[in-house]
Each structure stands twice: as C-alpha cells, then as structure tokens.
C-alpha cells in the first residue's frame, strides 16, 4: 500500500494527469459530477455523483459510424478510433461493481468494440466510502463500500490518501507514482473500514435481502398482482434508467447532416412506450408491463442469464431521483415478503 | 481500430431484383457489390437491413441457404423503413448485417420427419427458407405438407413459386386457402386454423407455424386437438430489435432474447416464457 499526504494531493493528481486524462467527481451547482481534472479543481467530498460512472464506457450518445450516400451508392465509414488512456478517480464501490454488470452485456460475444476499447484504456481508481447514507443498500448485493474493487483502491483519511493496486493496470499506475508517494501499512485503513462497516450495518436498508429473487424466478414473480399497485403512479419518465449505473438499453438512430449520415447510439429506456412498439403491435401495452420489465430484468432475468449476478448495485440514485418516490427497494420489499426488511 | 470486428457495422448490399408479390409485399434480391452472397445463413435466421438516414430493421432471410448466389427478403410495407425499401429501384445499395438468431433445427430435430408447414400472409417469408431447404435435401425428410392462407388470392406471397415448383414436387402437397370467396378462385375458402383441422393431419410429423398471432394461437389449438404435442410444433417470433445481438435490451420475453435465443422457438419452450409477446 502507498500513501500521500492530503496536503500534497494536487501533486498526485498532476502526476497522474501527466500521462493520462484524469477524471474525478467535482462539486457543481447541480451536484457532484465527473469532470476532467485540471489545476485548481478539487475532489468533491460528496458520497456519490448525480450521474453514474457508466458514461465513461457507455456514453449517453456516441457516433457509431458514418455513411456517404450518393445516388444509389452507399459507403460505410468506420469512424472508430483508439481511445486515449484515461483514469477515473473516486469511483465508489457500487459504481465499480456496475462495470462488472455492463461487462456481462457488452463483452459477451459478439463483443461491443466501442465499449471494449474504452474498458481497455480506462483505469479505475476507486474510493472507499466512509459516510454511506440512508439511500445506500450496496450490502444487499454483497458489495463492501469499505473495500471497493477497482484497479487501484483508494482510502481517504483525515490526513492522507492510501492507495492499493489490485490489478496489473493499477500496479503500473502506482509504480509510476512511487516518487511522490510513500510506503504505508494498513492500520489507518483497517480502522476506517471497521468504522464504515459499523455505519453500514446501522443504515435503514442494511437488512434488505435480495435472496427471494434471482436465477429462474420468472414464473414466481411475473404474474404477481402487486405489480399493478407498484406501477400505478409511474410516470414513465425514465429518470431511474438514466441515473442507473447498470441500465444499458440503447437505441440506434441515424442523423442526416446534409453532408452525409451519422449513425448514433443513444441511451434508451424500457420505461418508454415506444421502446418495444412496432408495426406488428406492442407487447408492453401499459406502464405496468414496462415497469415490471425493468425490475424483473434487474432482479430475475439478468441473474438468470448471468450466474445469479443482479443488475442492481444498491447505489440509491433511483431512490433519490424518482419524482414519485417509487424505487427498487419498495419493489423488493413488496414482492420479496417480510424477510426483506 | 478499423481492423477489429464490430457487429454493428454493416456491409453494403446491392438490390439486383425486385419482385412484386402482392399489393403490399415485395421480394428483394440482395448481393454484395462484387456480386456475391453477403454471408452464409441457416433457415430461420434474420438480417438487419438499413437505409442510412431512414433506419435499420430486422427481416427474416426468405431464401434458402442452399441458394449460394444471393439472398432474398420478402418484405411487407408497414412502416418507415419498409416504405422506403418498397420505393427502391434495382441497383439501389442498402446495408446488411447478420446472420442473427437461432435457426430451425433442420439437420437435427427435423431430420427424417414428415413436415407440416402452416403460414398466414407474410408469415410465409421465414418459412420459405426452410421449405426450400427441405425440398433441396428431399431425401432427408418425409412427406411435406404446406398449408398457406391469405386475405385474398392477390395476397398470397410467392404464388408462382408455390404453384410452379412446390406443388409439382413429388411428396410435397400444397393446401392453399383465402379468407373470402373470389370469382377467379376455385380453391379452398376459410381461415387457416379451420383448414388445418379440416385437413386432419396425422400426428407423426413436425409442424412449423408462422403468421399473425391470432392464426398461430388457433392453429396451435387445432393441432393439439388433432393430438399434436407442443414439443412437435415450432414457430418463429418477432419483436422490435435494434442490435440483433442481445445487447440493446428490447426484444426479450422474460430472460430470453428473441434476436439471439430465438427467433425460432418450440411451443414447449414458449410455455416457459411469460405471456408478453
């Protein structure tokens, strides 16, 4: 493990930024947001960013390819380019776990080369939580906020940053920083982890369990009458899907610039009525079906296809952002029975 | 990066022939600009066709894999992309990517069996591929029955091929029907599910259905009345798709994605899925 005094934090950031583009959460008028670091920018103290970190690998909008159209002729222009190396600093345990979920989708054969390229060039410096709040429930999905995954795991104490490399990428990054960091034992980190885990165990959602859901439970939950009541007030605004670190549904759309056609991939949402609408009909007619789809996917379908891995990391963003205060926790409590806290 | 394969980046296809099948169905022949087949496929698989600037949509490949020269797509005019495709002239380039999906088990579960194909309207398009595959490898299958119905005589897709080629094959029996009487029609009149029951097939065969949901529902019920088990009956499904590779997230029925786990399903497999299609 290496450490650096908090007073020298800027020298750490500028050393990282020398070799790679560096992003980190900074405070803005609209909340904490990942921004490219430059001299003078300070790491946000907030627990989490408003938007998740999925943008780094799966941006909200991206240009997939271009077309040149002349008369009856079409030319496909592969506009992909190698991403430059980048470091994302300060990713919380929940968001780091969300990358595993996204990997299951985008790195399954046939692999998505746009996503893979960014994954290969990105280094994750995660940041352990110290003050998880009442919307946090990462423990439900066996995530330890006190010890996130990532290429380099960082811990911020009152006077220092501790850094522990977990992967080859992480080791390479830390060894390049040896000149400004010093070797450290893990006493302070262990102490911090103990406190954080104690705090986690006292949070209101600490006893929420996902055990009732998972692999192969489609029949058990699909026709449950509770979906009606749960979905009744859903506005279908899609906010939950946009702030969600694991929601990855996308649309592909063409835009004619007047000088050619650009094909884009954009985030889409299963909460929207036109998501599944086709000329032959609409399999998800009302908001009940769309609402059910989102939660069944996270709690049942995804685990069925991915060895039990849930497609929720308990970050709590949907709890904070849903305009009608409906969320996955309420769904789990209602459908999962009393044993679910 | 350009040397790394990307499934979403399509190839160019050239439309070399357009056949008008019915007032709203045309069959397009597609090859690569150097005159070859864009890729190999198996019966029941699909391809994404697009017109840059208009959109991309999934279509079943209606030609048989045994056709090594070109691919064909029978397409009904019913939306933005299909309307544009219908306005094309020969020589127009489009984009094509695929093949996608799980095909009909023609070399395994179908092998050695009598086959019953039941189609309604444009539902013949995906079945034409497997029918012609079975006709090509005639000795691998037993008797072939084809029940095909449409709204009117003018709405029967592939009519010429059915009459000139399928109906004249030894061991192939074609049963056509239209919904309502027409002066120039001397064949059967009535809906497909009823006709299947009237024809009263023996149950020692495999049935493959494709058509409007209501036709599928009642034909399946009719076949069950005749004694067919769901494990003997197959269909091919259709839901909205954007990627074709199980990632864009919209064509799932429960945990199954129609684009990669389907579009071909056996009815006992469909029983395992939630009722949302």
Using one digit for the tens of pLDDT, what is the confidence trace for A76-114?
A: 999 899 899 999 999 999 999 999 999 999 999 999 999
Q: Which residues of B touch A270 (CB under 8 A)?
A: 249-250
pLDDT digit string (tens) for A314-334? Answer: 999 999 999 999 999 999 999
Do B213 and B125 reside in the same domain of the chain?
yes
CA distance B50 to B63: 18
Query: Smallest CA–CA separation between B19 and chain A, in Å?
Result: 19
End-to-end CA distance of chain B: 38
What pLDDT does residue B277 have? 82
- Residue ending a domain, among B100, B132, B149, is B100
Set of chain B residues whose Cβ sits within 8 Å of the Cβ of A223:
274
Is residue B241 situated within a structural domain? no
Question: Which of B12, B14, B15, B53 should we substitute to test contact with A (largest number of A Cβ atoms within 10 Å)?
Answer: B53
pLDDT for the residue A121 = 96
Kindly state whether residues B129 and B206 are assigned to the same domain. yes
Based on the domain organization, do B33 and B124 belong to the same domain?
no
Residue A337 has pLDDT above 90, yes or no: no
The pLDDT of residue A58 is 97
pLDDT at A341: 44
**Residue B275 within a domain:** no
**B124 and B159 co-located in one domain:** yes
**Residue B249: its chain A contacts at CB < 8 A?**
248-250, 268, 270, 297
Q: How far apart are the first and last CA of chain A?
A: 37
Strand order through the sheet with A182-183: A31-36, A21-28, A86-91, A122-127, A152-156, A160-165, A2-5, A182-183
B188 domain-assigned: yes
What count of other Cβ atoms lies within 10 Å of the Cβ of residue B114?
17
What is the DSSP-derived secondary structure letter of residue A278? Answer: B
Helix (H, G, I), strand (E, B) or coil at B254: coil
Report mean pLDDT in 10-residue bins for chain B, 277 residues: 86 97 96 96 97 96 96 95 96 97 97 97 96 96 96 94 94 96 95 95 95 93 95 95 95 95 95 88
Are the Cβ atoms of A252 and B53 closer than 8 angstroms? no
Which chain A residues are closer than 8 Å to B30 by Cβ? Answer: none
Angstrom distances, CA of residue B11 to CA of B49, B94, B212: 10, 9, 31
C-alpha dihedral sign at A285, A289, A291, A296: negative
In a mutagenesis test of the B interface, which of A58, A69, A72, A281 is the best target, namely the one with the most B β-carbons within 10 Å?
A72
Query: What per-residue confidence (pLDDT) applies to B3?
Result: 75
Q: Categorize the per-residue pLDDT at A309 as very low, low, confident or very high, splitting at 50, 70 and 90.
A: very high
In this structure, what token pair is assigned to residue A142?
């066996």
Residue of B nearest to A214 (CA): B255
> Going by C-beta distance under 8 Å and a sequence separation of 6 or more, which residues neighbour residue B16?
B29, B30, B31, B70, B90, B91
Residue A233 distance to chain B (closest CA, Å): 21
Contact A57, A83 (CB under 8 A): no
What percent of chain A has pLDDT above 90? Answer: 95
Does residue B248 belong to any structural domain of this protein? no
Contacts of B90 in chain A (CB under 8 A): none
Q: Is A261 helix (H, G, I), strand (E, B) or coil?
A: strand
Residue A123 has pLDDT above 80, yes or no: yes
Task: Indicate the helix (H) or strand (E) that contains B256.
Answer: strand B256-257
- The verdict on B120 and B222 lying in the same domain is yes
Are the beta carbons of A74 and B95 separated by less than 8 Å? Answer: yes
| Cβ–Cβ below 8 Å for A300 and B255 | yes
Q: Which residues of A touch B91 (CB under 8 A)?
A: 72
The two counts, helices (H) then strands (E), for chain B are 6, 15
User: What is residue A239's predicted lDDT score, i.e. its pLDDT?
Assistant: 96
CATH number reported for the structural domain that contains residue B54 in this entry: 2.40.30.10
Q: Is the pTM of this model over 0.80?
A: yes
Spatial neighbors of A254 by CB under 8 A, at least 6 apart, are A67, A261, A262, A263, A264, B50, B52, B53, B54, B55, B56
CATH number, position B187? 3.40.50.80
Of A65, A283, A296, the CB nearest to B239: A283
Answer whether residue B15 is part of any domain: yes
Tell me the chain A residues in contact with residue B248 when contact means C-beta distances shorter than 8 Å: 249-252, 268
CA B156 to chain centre: 14
What pLDDT does residue A302 have? 97
Q: What is the mean pLDDT of residues A110-133?
A: 96
Residue of B nearest to A274 (CA): B240
Residue B226 sits in the same domain as residue B135: yes
Average pLDDT, chain A: 94
B121 with B80, same domain: the answer is no
Boundary of a domain, candidates B100, B132, B159: B100
Looking at the fold, whether B95 and B118 belong to one and the same domain comes out as no
Q: Scanning every residue of chain A, which has its alpha carbon at the shortest distance from the alpha carbon of B249?
A: A249
In angstroms, the separation between the Cα of residue A197 and the nearest Cα of chain B is 35
Identify which of A103, A101, A93, A189 has the alpha carbon closest to the alpha carbon of residue A143. Answer: A93
Question: What digits encode the pLDDT tens for the residues B79-121?
Answer: 899 999 999 999 999 999 999 999 999 999 999 999 999 999 9
Return the number of CB contacts < 8 Å for A and B: 133
Sign for the CA dihedral angle at B234, B239, B243, B246 comes to negative
**Residue B92 and residue B134 in one domain:** no
From the list A106, A222, A278, the residue facing B240 with the nearest CB is: A278
Model pLDDT, residue A340: 46
C-alpha distance from A277 to closest chain B C-alpha (Å):
7
In a domain, B186, yes or no: yes
The domain tally of chain B equals: 2
Question: In the 3-class helix/strand/coil scheme, how is B2-53 assigned residue by residue?
Answer: CCCCCCCCCEEEEEEEEEEEECCEEEEEEECCCCCCCCCCCCCCEEEEEECC
Torsion of CA A147, A154, A321, A251, to 10 degrees: -100
Quick one: closest CA in A to B80, which residue? Answer: A279
Domain that holds residue B62: 11-100
- Which chain B residues contact residue A289 at CB under 8 A? 276
Residues B72 and B118 in one domain: no
Residue where the block lists tokens 């027409």: B182
Report d(CA B78, CA B59) in Å as an integer.
Answer: 13
Identify whether residues B73 and B16 lie together within a single domain: yes
Residue B256 lies in a domain: no
Please state, in angstroms and rounded to a whole number, the distance separating the CA atoms of residues B158 and A46: 65
Residue of A nearest to B213 (CA): A280
Note whether B94 and B118 are same-domain residues.
no
């Amino acid at each position: 493990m290496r450490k650096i005094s908090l007073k020298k934090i800027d020298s750490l950031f500028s050393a990282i930024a020398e070799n790679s583009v560096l992003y980190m959460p900074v405070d803005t008028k609209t909340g904490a947001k990942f921004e490219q670091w430059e001299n003078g920018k300070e790491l946000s103290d907030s627990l989490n960013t408003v938007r998740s970190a999925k943008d780094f690998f799966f941006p909200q909008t991206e240009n997939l390819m271009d077309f040149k159209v002349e008369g009856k002729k079409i030319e496909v222009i592969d506009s992909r380019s190698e991403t430059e190396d980048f470091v994302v600093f300060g990713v919380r345990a929940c968001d780091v776990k969300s990358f595993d979920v996204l990997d299951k989708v985008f790195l399954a054969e046939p692999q998505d080369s746009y996503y893979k390229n960014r994954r290969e060039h990105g280094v994750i410096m995660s940041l352990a939580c110290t003050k998880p709040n009442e919307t946090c429930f990462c423990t439900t999905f066996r995530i330890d906020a006190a010890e996130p995954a990532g290429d380099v795991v960082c811990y911020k104490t009152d006077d220092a940053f501790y850094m522990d490399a977990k992967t080859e990428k992480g080791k390479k990054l830390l060894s390049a920083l040896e000149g400004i960091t010093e070797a450290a034992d893990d006493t302070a980190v262990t102490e911090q982890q103990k406190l954080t885990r104690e705090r986690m165990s006292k949070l209101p959602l600490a006893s929420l369990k996902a055990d009732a859901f998972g692999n192969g439970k489609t029949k058990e939950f699909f026709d449950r009458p509770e979906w009606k009541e749960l979905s009744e007030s859903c506005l279908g605004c899609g906010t939950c899907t946009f702030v969600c670190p694991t929601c990855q549904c996308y649309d592909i759309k063409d835009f004619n610039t007047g000088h050619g056609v650009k094909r884009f991939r954009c985030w889409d949402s299963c909460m929207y009525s036109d998501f599944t609408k086709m000329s032959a009909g609409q399999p998800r007619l009302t908001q009940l079906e769309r609402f059910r789809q989102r939660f069944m996917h996270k709690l049942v379908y995804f685990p069925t296809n991915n060895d039990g891995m849930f497609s929720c990391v308990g970050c709590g963003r949907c709890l904070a952002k849903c305009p009608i205060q409906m969320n996955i926790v309420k769904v789990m409590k209602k459908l999962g029975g009393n044993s679910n806290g | 990066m350009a040397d790394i394969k990307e499934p979403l980046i399509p190839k160019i296809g050239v439309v070399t022939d357009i056949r008008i099948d019915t007032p709203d169905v045309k069959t397009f022949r597609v090859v690569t600009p150097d005159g070859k087949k864009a890729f190999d496929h198996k019966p029941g698989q699909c391809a994404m066709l697009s017109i840059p600037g208009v959109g991309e949509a999934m279509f079943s490949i209606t030609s048989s894999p045994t056709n090594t020269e070109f691919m064909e797509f029978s397409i009904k005019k019913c939306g933005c992309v299909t309307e544009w495709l219908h306005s094309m002239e020969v020589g127009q380039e489009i984009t094509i990517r695929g093949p996608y999906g799980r095909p009909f088990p023609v070399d395994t579960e179908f092998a050695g069996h009598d086959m019953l194909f039941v189609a309604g309207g444009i539902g013949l398009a995906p079945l034409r591929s497997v029918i012609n595959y079975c006709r090509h490898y005639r000795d691998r299958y037993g008797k072939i029955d084809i029940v095909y119905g449409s709204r009117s005589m003018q709405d029967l897709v592939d009519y010429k091929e059915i009459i000139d080629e399928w109906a004249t094959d030894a061991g192939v029996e074609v049963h056509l029907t239209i919904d309502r009487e027409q002066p120039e029609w001397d064949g059967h009149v009535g809906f497909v599910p009823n006709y299947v029951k009237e024809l009263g097939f023996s149950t020692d065969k495999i049935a493959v259905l494709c058509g409007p949901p209501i036709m599928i529902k009642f034909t399946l019920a009719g076949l069950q009345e005749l004694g067919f088990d769901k494990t003997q009956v197959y269909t091919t499904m259709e839901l909205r798709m954007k990627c074709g590779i199980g990632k864009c997230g919209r064509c799932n029925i429960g945990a199954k994605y129609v684009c990669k786990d389907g579009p071909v399903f056996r009815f006992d497999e469909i029983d395992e899925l939630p009722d949302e299609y």
